[in-house]
């Protein structure tokens, strides 16, 4: 199902941090939302999730760090049950085994609290929760910034493989152009609360048009990054 939002905007302390923005996201789309820190990427991501949820779409969210997704006082099993419950599923109905195997966290003890797991495993658990019920869109907000490069690359590979053949669209929010270059087919470049450029990834990387995208692609060493 094609996802459409229009007129998304946000203000903070009387200042517009997201100017009216409209988006169309096709099923299976792989979109990268890039821009410098403070350009409004996460704000757009949050506004997009809230709007689509209000429309009745199933949208999953993976924040930057597992600390932003998991309650340290609650067990992993509780988080899983809660995520199922929030989606209106009966406890135990989500295909936990398949997801855990795909994301290589099948050995994790679900009775433990988040801090009983490694950070890499926690983040993959959060991604697994986001994939319960095959959402229409998964928004990954700097999903690998809390992970070391090797674990980050492996996690993204596992996610890519899991999403293959599914209708779920993916939006990857990042300031890391190296990560976006390898994972998405379309790039949206943000600057000062606006999407200033949108084009296929290869096109922006080869022929950036705006000052923001030129600035992002100026440093060519992103090709060497493992993600």
Partner 1 sequence: MIATLLSLLLRAVVVLAGTAVLTFALLWNAPGDPAQAIAMARFDALLTEDVIDQVREEVGLNANFWGAFVDWVGPLLVLDFGNSAVTGRPVWPDLWVSITYTFPLALAGLAIGLVISLPLAILATQHPGRLLDRFAVAIASLGTAIPAFWLGLLLILLFAVQLDWLPAMGARTPAHAILPALTLGLGVAASLTRIIRSGILEARGQQFLPALSRRGVSPKAIGRDHVAPHAAVPVVTVVGLELAFLLEGLVVVEVIFGRPGLGTFLTSAILDRDFPHVQAVVVLTALVFVSVNLIVDVIYRQIDPRIGERDA
- List the structure tokens of 29: 């789309």
Q: In angstroms, rounded to a whole number, what is the distance separating the alpha carbons of residues 213 and 89?
A: 42
Beta carbon of residue 94, minimum distance to partner 1 (angstroms, whole number): 13
With respect to partner 1, which residue has the nearer C-beta, 86 or 150? 86
Which runs of consecutive H residues, i.e. helices, occur in 71-208?
76-86, 96-102, 119-130, 149-163, 177-183, 201-206
Our finding on whether 182 is near partner 1 (CB under 8 A) is: no
34 forms bridges with which residues in the sheet? 174, 189
In this structure, the chain runs to a length of: 227
With respect to partner 1, which residue has the nearer C-beta, 82 or 192? 82
With respect to partner 1, which residue has the nearer C-beta, 68 or 206? 68
- List the structure tokens of 168: 């779920």
- Rounded to 5 degrees, φ, ψ at 164 are -55, 130
Q: Which residue has the tokens 């869109």?
A: 137
CA dihedral 46, 25, 170, 75 (to 10 degrees): 40
Beta carbon of residue 126, minimum distance to partner 1 (angstroms, whole number): 8
Our finding on whether 82 is near partner 1 (CB under 8 A) is: yes
Beta carbon of residue 155, minimum distance to partner 1 (angstroms, whole number): 18
Our finding on whether 77 is near partner 1 (CB under 8 A) is: no
Applying CB under 8 A, the span of 3-11, 15-23, 85-93, 95-103 interacting with partner 1 comes to: 85-93
The residue from 2, 11, 20, 86 that contacts partner 1 (CB under 8 A) is: 86
Q: Which residue has the tokens 């990427």?
A: 41
With respect to partner 1, which residue has the nearer C-beta, 45 or 208? 45
Our finding on whether 129 is near partner 1 (CB under 8 A) is: yes
Applying CB under 8 A, the span of 22-30, 80-88, 147-155, 190-198 interacting with partner 1 comes to: 80-88
Which helix (H) or strand (E) segment is 196 a member of?
Answer: strand 194-200
**Cβ atoms within 10 A of the Cβ of 206, count?**
10
Beta carbon of residue 141, minimum distance to partner 1 (angstroms, whole number): 10
Q: Which of 108, 112, 88 is nearest to 99 (CA)?
A: 108
Q: Which of 164, 115, 150 is nearest to 225 (CA)?
A: 150
Our finding on whether 110 is near partner 1 (CB under 8 A) is: no
Applying CB under 8 A, the span of 74-82, 95-103, 166-174, 196-204 interacting with partner 1 comes to: 74-82
DSSP assignments along 79-101, one per residue: HHHHHHHHTTPPTT-S-HHHHHH
Our finding on whether 53 is near partner 1 (CB under 8 A) is: yes
Our finding on whether 115 is near partner 1 (CB under 8 A) is: yes
Our finding on whether 59 is near partner 1 (CB under 8 A) is: yes
Which residues in this chain contact partner 1 in the complex, by CB under 8 A? 46, 49-50, 53, 59-61, 63, 67-74, 78, 82-83, 85-87, 113, 115, 129
């Amino acid at each position: 199902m094609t996802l459409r939002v229009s007129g998304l905007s946000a203000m903070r302390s009387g200042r517009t941090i997201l100017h009216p923005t409209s988006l169309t996201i096709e099923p299976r789309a792989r979109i990268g939302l890039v821009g410098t820190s403070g350009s409004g990427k996460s704000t757009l991501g949050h506004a997009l999730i809230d709007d689509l949820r209000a429309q009745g779409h199933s949208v999953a969210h993976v924040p930057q760090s597992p600390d932003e997704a998991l309650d340290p006082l609650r067990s992993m099993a509780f988080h899983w049950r809660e995520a199922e419950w929030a989606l209106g599923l009966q406890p135990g109905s989500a295909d936990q085994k398949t997801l855990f195997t795909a994301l290589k966290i099948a050995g994790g003890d679900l009775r433990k609290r988040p801090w009983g797991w490694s950070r890499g495993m926690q983040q993959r658990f959060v991604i697994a929760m986001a994939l319960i019920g095959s959402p229409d869109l998964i928004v990954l907000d700097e999903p690998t910034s809390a992970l070391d490069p090797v674990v980050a690359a492996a996690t993204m590979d596992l996610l890519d493989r899991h999403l293959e053949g599914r209708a779920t669209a993916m939006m990857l929010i990042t300031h890391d152009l190296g990560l976006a270059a390898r994972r998405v087919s379309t790039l949206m470049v943000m600057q000062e609360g606006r999407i200033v450029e949108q084009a296929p990834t290869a096109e922006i990387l080869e022929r950036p048009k705006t000052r923001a995208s030129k600035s992002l692609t100026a440093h060519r060493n992103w090709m060497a990054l493992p993600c």
